[in-house]
Amino acid sequence: MSQQDTIISLDSLATLQKRWPGRAWVNSVCTLAQKRLATHPHGDLPRWLCTLQQLPAVSPEANLDSGTPALGGRVEDLKALRETLMELHPWRKGPLCLGGLRIETEWRSDWKWERVETHIRLAGHRVLDIGCGNGYFGLRMLGAGAALVVGIDPTLLFVMQWLACRHFSGDIANYVLPLAIEDLPADPTRRLSNPDRACLATGGGLCRTRDWPSFLPIEPAVHHRECR
């Protein structure tokens, strides 16, 4: 099995297409994401793939009710797990708990979530998270009732961290695609200089936590653009 096949076999994105069927743009970005992974030239990719393969077998679990999402059953050798996960550092967004090991991340993203969570209503919504990092906020949004979170971030290391999280969580409706905003098709997206004119779907909303002018109307969705 090639390195590229290993990545794709870890998460084929097929479940994303099943969770949001009948949308040509979803199929398009999934295909592009797989192609991007299969052709990525990053020199650390072989090491990261090896790290993912070394993760211990666990029972998939996802407790998303706290500021530190807890994923996977407890691993017996936490010291070995820590050494393995350190191969994917730096871990920016968090904190996280994987297999019983708490990861103290560089950014306290839980503090930011506490500031915004009372201002957004996510129950039943699909969410596009632009600049999602390793998918931490996607976990928090699922915990707040979102039906689906699709994150995009061109930084390959963050995608690897998401795959590690997915190893512990199992197939939950939180995705991180190795894409930038420019990679998304023009149909469900547009650049907007004035967020008050955002052409959101009926029942949709927009959460802006960084002063950037790009917002993506996806139906029906809450749009979450964030920095940390």
- The model's pLDDT over 48-64, given as tens digits with 9 standing for 90+, comes to 989 999 999 999 999 99
- Pairing, β 190-191 against β 214-215: antiparallel
- In whole angstroms, give the CA distance from residue 38 to residue 21: 24
What is each CA distance from 172 to 135, 138, 151, in whole angstroms?
12, 10, 13
pLDDT of residue 212: 38
Query: Could you state, in order of their start, the residue ranges of all structural domains in the chain?
Result: 3-225
Give residue-wise pLDDT tens across range 176-187: 999 998 888 765
Query: In 117-217, which residue ranges form alpha helices assigned H by DSSP?
Result: 136-143, 156-169
- In whole angstroms, give the CA distance from residue 44 to residue 189: 32
- In whole angstroms, give the CA distance from residue 9 to residue 142: 24
- Pairing, β 62-63 against β 126-130: unpaired
Question: Contact 180/154 with Cβ under 8 angstroms?
Answer: yes
pLDDT level of residue 25 (50, 70, 90 thresholds): confident
Tell me the Ramachandran region of residue 203: left when phi exceeds 0, alpha when psi lies from -120 to 50, beta otherwise: left
Tokens of 98: 């994987």
pLDDT of residue 41: 80
pLDDT over threshold 70, residue 10: no
